Amino acid sequence: CLNGGSCVRHEYFPTYSYCLCPKGFSGRHCETDTRTQCYEDNGEDYRGTATLTESGKECLWWNSNHVAQKFYSAYNSDALQLGLGKHNYCRNPDRSKKPWCYVRRRGYITYNYCDIPKCDSNPDDSVYSNAFKQFIGSCFVKVKSDKFFRGASTSDPPPGTQSPSKQFPKLDSPMYCKLKKLNKKKKLGPKQRLFFDLLVLSASSCGQRKFKIFKIVGGERAALESQPWIAAIFQYNHRMKRDFFSCGGSLIDSCWVLTAAHCFPDYFPRNDFSVILGKSALNETDAHKEQRFQVERIVLHPEYDDSNDSYNNDIALLKLKSTAGKCALETNYVRPVCLPPEGLSLKDGWQCEIAGYGKEKYSHWYYSQKLKEATIELISQETCKTEDYYGSKITDNMLCAGHPQWKVDSCKGDSGGPMVCEKDNRMILYGIISWGDGCGKKNKPGVYTRVTRYNTWIQQNVNQGVGPS
């Protein structure tokens, strides 16, 4: 069930279930947004209920016999992801210029663009969230020093500069960007990095992706744009004289990747490790999408404990080696994930996503090669601490998640990778793939590092750029 819907199983027919949708959503999987009145960008993510074209014609149903033989219909294998189904709502499955639908005209089936307005973009918002793409200049933020809104103070805004506090009501203090619009080509010189507080989610494009995941099945090959924060960590083998895939990770800032501490044994130097962002397959290289970096520093959590295979505090930061103060460049294939607000607790059964290049079965000797993703559900701490599950091995720094039928799980090679959950229309890094008993075994779900326990530690190391390696 999508968009916060709850899966309800029939009391007398346990094999039958349906989605109980929250207010504002409908459809078999809660995939239809009944409140939206406009579309953003080109409308490929539009999931509203408009059914009229610009010519005033009513849209044909996507599951009708007239549409069944067309390239896009409700019978496509990826129909749910494209927003198609048993309805006649306008959609944009081919990434055209705006949402459209099939109509009947003079005895033929053709398509028309739909009569839907484009959402108004607030100029201040676009300046603030897309400053890297549209403007040059320096940006300053002054925010409250409460539990997770932290930042560097600055002087009062210059005359004529409007404070965006109305757009961002949670931020009481002034906040402005001193920017120059770039009207002509100009040699800018060395790139300068703009620093934002990692935890101010509204202040960056973290957790946003080109492709949203509108599906509920697990173990599918992932479109790279749906997991743009995924990092592939490689280790150099001196005997074989080549790099081998080691672990996964998550890009949380231009120069920082968050991963699992157990991926870095003491006897391997940091120079042996490198990180590739934007990689969709281990056995393929795409220079147009990939960004490769050497690791400048490895910061393990000081209380990481791997004694007795407990993996408590299984978290580490990798600082990427930068060029002119900048590391990862934001694209559709490379984008940071949001860190969760401190103390955030999602309810049991909340659906989240895992992604990685790990084994598809525990018995396999090889990795999957292709980036894969799956949907799992959070399991209560009380359940995971029972003797049927993991008992006392589970600490407050860990969380458990799995598939209700134990068909989907993280596995060897996925370690360090992301478990992301949608919150307020952004993907947040709620867990780090850590350990488990086998893969997909009943009552033995995957165990993840609980990221919300480490906000302060992450913030201090990223802001200071130092720490023991």
Q: Kindly list the catalytic residues.
A: 262, 314, 415
Query: Residue 33 in contact with residue 63, Cβ under 8 Å?
Result: no
Residues 6+ apart with CB under 8 A from 221: 370, 371, 372, 373
Query: Residue 295 in contact with residue 321, Cβ under 8 Å?
Result: yes
How many C-beta neighbours within 10 Å does residue 109 have?
14
Nearest CA among 108, 70, 110, 114 for reference residue 92: 114
Residue with tokens 């984008």: 335
Q: Which two tokens stand for residue 1?
A: 């069930």
Query: Residue 417 in contact with residue 247, Cβ under 8 Å?
Result: yes
| Phi-psi sector, 41: left (phi>0), alpha (psi -120 to 50), beta | left
Residue 156, judged by CB atoms within 10 A of its CB (0-12, 13-18, 19+), counts as: exposed
Residue 5, judged by CB atoms within 10 A of its CB (0-12, 13-18, 19+), counts as: buried
Query: Residue 151 in contact with residue 200, Cβ under 8 Å?
Result: yes
Q: Which two tokens stand for residue 105?
A: 């005209």
- Number of residues written out for the chain: 469
Indicate if the alpha-carbon torsion angle 338, 339, 341, 347 is positive or negative: positive
DSSP 276-328: EES-SBTT---TTT-EEEEEEEEEE-TT-B-GGG--BT--EEEEEPPBTTB-P
DSSP 195-259: P--TT-GGGS-TT--SS------SSEEPPGGGSTTEEEEEEEETTTTEEEEEEEEEEEETTEEEE
Nearest CA among 410, 451, 405, 459 for reference residue 428: 451
CA pair distance 430, 450, nearest whole angstrom: 6
